[in-house]
Amino acid sequence: MLSDKEIVEKLHQLPPVIQQEVLDFIDFLTMKWRNQGLAKSETYLRKAGAMPNLVAYMADDFDAPLEDLNDYQ
């Protein structure tokens, strides 16, 4: 991960028009995270196994061909 100093140095290397675009994008990301109620990106990461047994029902013929697609066989 880049340090704050490295980020600022890279920002200063960009032309002013692009610097403004970067700032606009930062504002967009800030608003996006606020609207989702997530303060830290770590809280947004999905973890494997977090929702076990999510599928409560699956039909026995789930893998059977659909009749609507018979014309395409």
Encode pLDDT of 12-50 as tens digits.
999 999 999 999 999 999 888 887 765 555 555 667 777
Task: With cut-offs at 50, 70 and 90, classify the pLDDT of residue 52.
Answer: confident
At 50 the pLDDT is: 73
Q: To 5 degrees, how large is the angle CA 13–CA 1–CA 22?
A: 40
With 0.85 as the threshold, say if the pTM is over it: no
Of 40-44, 49-53, 55-59, which has the strongest mean pLDDT?
A: 55-59
DSSP class of residue 45? -
> How long, in residues, is the chain?
73
Compute the distance between CA of residue 44 and CA of residue 37 in angstroms, rounded to an integer. Answer: 10
- What is the C-alpha to C-alpha distance for residues 33 and 38, in angstroms, rounded to an integer? 5
